[in-house]
Amino acid sequence: MGIKDWKKVSFLLVFVFHNFFSQQTVTGRITDDDGENLSSVIVINMSSDQKVYSNSMGLFSIDAAPNDELRFVKADFRRVSATVPSNGFSSQLLVVLIPIPKEIEEVKVVKKPTGDLETDSRLASKADKGEMVRQAVGLPQPVGKMREKPAEVKQVLLPILLGSLDVQGTYDLISGKARRQKRQYRYDDLQEHIAWVRNRVDNEYFTAAGIPEERISEFIQYSFEVKPQVRTYVKAKNLSGVLLRMEETMPAYVERLKKNKTPE
């Protein structure tokens, strides 16, 4: 091995050891603004994509290097970030998460159903008629969305092979009604899922990441498309999972906004 090769190897070894020893373990505790320990907070090293969770005492431990950004995410709390200084943290890091304010729904006092449909129907005029009557007669709650099911090709062809004809289903397929229904249902579901996220996450969460308020719904839809797991978590009503996956799509979306921005 020549002198030049030895120099290259020596430089590589120095670089590797420098990066190895510059890594450190950052420890800390996470609380709310009342000083209560917060468990299950997601701690993300944005440089290495390492993720850990705080324990029942609010404690966490994660590897990081100088200038790495640590991000702290928990459902119903504002996101917090901290940058590791060049000389590291001299002591345990204390992170305080502020809850996102929630609107309190109006509380309505409704008289208990008597079991008499005539009496309960009059009471229902001041409340949810359908709900009151269901309680009175013991009807079960409907499962899923109450909407007409679009005709399917298999469901229409199978009766024909057996010697019968589904007139309505055949008409829906030929006229394009079934196709329009499916398109409308997909749109309705998309808007419902976007609204689910927006109703639970404060606008400041997005604007702090560089997403304008008027683009928030567009970003949520974008995250559904590039990271389908986001929508899977929405369907499962798992807000922590939604936030974690959306975090992964934010940098690319913000960068796209910068590129598309028209010069003044």
Report yes or no on 190 lying in a domain. Answer: no
13 lies in the same domain as 71: yes
Phi, psi angles (nearest 5°) of residue 51: -130, 135
CATH, residue 11: 2.60.40.10
Compute the distance between CA of residue 40 and CA of residue 256 in angstroms, rounded to an integer. 32
**Any domain includes 152:** no
pLDDT tens digits, one per residue of 127-176: 444 444 455 544 444 445 555 676 676 665 666 666 666 667 666 667 77
124 with 91, same domain: the answer is no
46 and 114 share one domain: no
CA distances to 39, 68, 205, 237 from 197, rounded to whole Å, are 22, 29, 12, 9
Among residues 66, 82, 97, the one where a domain terminates is: 97
Residue 67 lies in a domain: yes
66 inside domain: yes
Same domain, 52 and 112: no
Task: Decide if 117 contacts 137 (C-beta within 8 A).
Answer: yes
Total count of domains within the chain:
3
Model pLDDT for residues 77-116, shown as the tens digit of each residue: 888 888 898 887 777 889 999 888 765 554 444 444 444 4
User: Which helix (H) or strand (E) is 32 found in, with range?
Assistant: strand 24-32
- The answer to whether residues 130 and 212 belong to one domain is no
First to last CA, the chain: 57
Q: Are residues 15 and 69 in the same domain?
A: yes
Residue 39, domain extent = 7-97
Q: Of 97, 129, 163, which marks where a domain is finished?
A: 97
Specify if 220 maps to a domain: yes
Shared domain for 136 and 214, answered yes or no, is no
Task: Reduce the DSSP state of residue 25 to 3 states and report it.
Answer: strand
Positive or negative, the CA dihedral 246, 223, 260, 256 is: positive
Residue 154 resides in a domain: no
* This prediction's pTM: 0.46
Pair 53, 107 in one domain: no
Query: Do residues 72 and 111 share a domain?
Result: no
C-beta separation of 132 from 120 below 8 A: yes
Do residues 15 and 83 both lie within one domain? yes
List pLDDT tens digits, range 47-83: 888 999 999 999 999 999 998 999 999 988 888 888 8
Identify whether 77 is part of a domain: yes
Do the beta carbons of residue 14 and residue 28 sit within 8 Å?
no
Distance CA(1)–CA(13), nearest Å, equals: 16
In the chain, the percentage of residues whose pLDDT exceeds 90 is 31
Which helix or strand (DSSP H or E) is residue 94 part of? strand 93-97
Examine the domain organization and report whether 112 and 80 are in the same domain.
no
Q: Are residues 15 and 85 in the same domain?
A: yes
Asked if residue 241 is part of any domain, the answer here is yes
